[in-house]
């Protein structure tokens, strides 16, 4: 089985986008981080955002998740123009971001990390308290669905592998109603096995109809799960390619900025 066929790919490409970003510009003083980028995400697809260091990937997804306001350009959410004033606005609309540092507390249990203050409660008024049993049950079940069998709900997050922690963060976002899941370089610090687990998690989430934005430096990881690919280069995009319409070599070339890559290959004798 090759990486190309391992995952089934969304055929949701004709569906209306959940989120649509049009001609987004972002300036920081004199620095133009984004110079008119358009990008959309449809339900049940994995749209990869690729690009070299400093290309503008993080700036772009921060604009999508309400951290930055665009200098210019429009954001449409489910067809309507929308302004996110804060990350909370974006979260409430259903845009969840899993950052690399994951915002987890290693010494606390997986369940506590899963709910993070959103624990189910039982009882009313002064008797209202966390429903620990219910929380444990939900957490174990949601993790099982993602292919992770916890030793128990009390297992500390610090004892999980990097890939499993990514999966906790992803499961948590989906459980709390994410329609769009943004993953900023979820595989960059992982080994081969952990990477394939995270890619399998992305595949599961996608098949539940969630739109995934997958940011990566790594063309192979992107090709393993991506339905569409957008390459950013110095704040600009050359457009979006569908899976099958672009070869790994073309994608790699676009990422490295074509010309520079050719030069590098020349100087290294074609080993890159």
248 binds ligand ATP (CB under 6 A): no
How far is Cα 32 from Cα 34, in angstroms, rounded to an integer?
Answer: 6
Residue 216 binding result from Mg ion, ligand ATP, none, given CB thresholds of 5 to 8 Å by partner type: none
Burial-class residue 19 by CB neighbours within 10 Å (0-12, 13-18, 19+): buried
Token pair of 139 as six digits: 């957490």
Token pair of 44 as six digits: 């049940």
Shortest Å distance, C-beta 28 to Mg ion: 14
How far is Cα 221 from Cα 48, in angstroms, rounded to an integer?
Answer: 10
Burial-class residue 53 by CB neighbours within 10 Å (0-12, 13-18, 19+): exposed
Who contacts 204 (Cβ-Cβ below 8 Å, separation ≥6)? 145, 146, 147
How far is Cα 25 from Cα 60, in angstroms, rounded to an integer?
Answer: 9
Shortest Å distance, C-beta 272 to Mg ion: 22
Residue 222 has phi, psi (to 5 degrees) of: -65, -45
The enclosing H or E element of 132 equals helix 132-145
57 binds ligand ATP (CB under 6 A): yes
In the complex with Mg ion, the residue whose CB is nearer, 10 or 56, is 56
Shortest Å distance, C-beta 212 to ligand ATP: 18
Q: Which of 54, 123, 177, 266 binds ligand ATP (CB under 6 A)?
A: 54
Four-residue CA torsion sign, 147, 150, 156, 159: negative
The footprint of ligand ATP on residues 182-241 (CB under 6 A) is none
In the complex with ligand ATP, the residue whose CB is nearer, 97 or 111, is 97
Residue 247 binding result from ligand ATP, Mg ion, none, given CB thresholds of 5 to 8 Å by partner type: none
Beta bridge partners of 237: 232
58 binds Mg ion (CB under 5 A): yes
In the complex with ligand ATP, the residue whose CB is nearer, 37 or 210, is 37
How far is Cα 213 from Cα 253, in angstroms, rounded to an integer?
Answer: 21
Shortest Å distance, C-beta 35 to Mg ion: 17
59 binds ligand ATP (CB under 6 A): yes
In the complex with ligand ATP, the residue whose CB is nearer, 57 or 165, is 57
How many residues belong to the site for ligand ATP (CB under 6 A)? 11
51 binds ligand ATP (CB under 6 A): yes
In the complex with ligand ATP, the residue whose CB is nearer, 100 or 155, is 100
The enclosing H or E element of 228 equals strand 228-233
In the complex with ligand ATP, the residue whose CB is nearer, 198 or 232, is 232
Question: CB under 6 A: which stretch of 26-34, 102-110, 126-134, 159-167 binds ligand ATP?
Answer: 26-34
């Amino acid at each position: 089985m090759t990486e190309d066929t391992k995952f089934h790919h969304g055929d949701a490409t004709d569906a209306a986008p959940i989120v649509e970003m049009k001609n987004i510009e972002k300036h920081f003083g004199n620095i133009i981080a984004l110079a008119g980028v358009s990008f959309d995400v449809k339900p049940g697809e994995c749209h990869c955002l690729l690009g070299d260091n400093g290309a503008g990937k993080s700036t772009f997804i921060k604009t999508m998740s309400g951290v930055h306001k665009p200098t210019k350009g429009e954001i449409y959410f489910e067809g309507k123009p929308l302004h996110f004033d804060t990350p909370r606005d974006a979260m409430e609309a259903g845009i969840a971001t899993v950052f690399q540092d994951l915002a987890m507390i290693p010494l606390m249990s997986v369940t506590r990390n899963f709910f993070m203050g959103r624990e189910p409660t039982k009882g009313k008024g002064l008797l209202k308290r966390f429903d620990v049993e219910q929380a444990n049950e939900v957490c174990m079940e949601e993790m099982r669905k993602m292919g992770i069998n916890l030793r128990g709900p009390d297992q500390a997050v610090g004892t999980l592998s990097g890939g499993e922690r990514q999966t906790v963060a992803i499961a948590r976002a989906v459980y709390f109603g994410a329609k769009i899941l943004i993953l900023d370089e979820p595989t960059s610090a992982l080994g081969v096995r952990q990477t394939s687990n995270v890619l399998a998690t992305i595949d599961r989430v996608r098949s539940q109809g969630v739109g995934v934005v997958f940011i990566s430096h790594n063309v192979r990881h992107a090709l393993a799960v991506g339905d569409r690919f957008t390459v950013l280069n110095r704040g600009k995009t050359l457009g979006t390619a569908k899976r099958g319409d672009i070869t790994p070599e073309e994608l790699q070339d676009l990422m490295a900025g074509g010309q520079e890559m050719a030069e590098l290959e020349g100087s290294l004798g074609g080993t890159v």
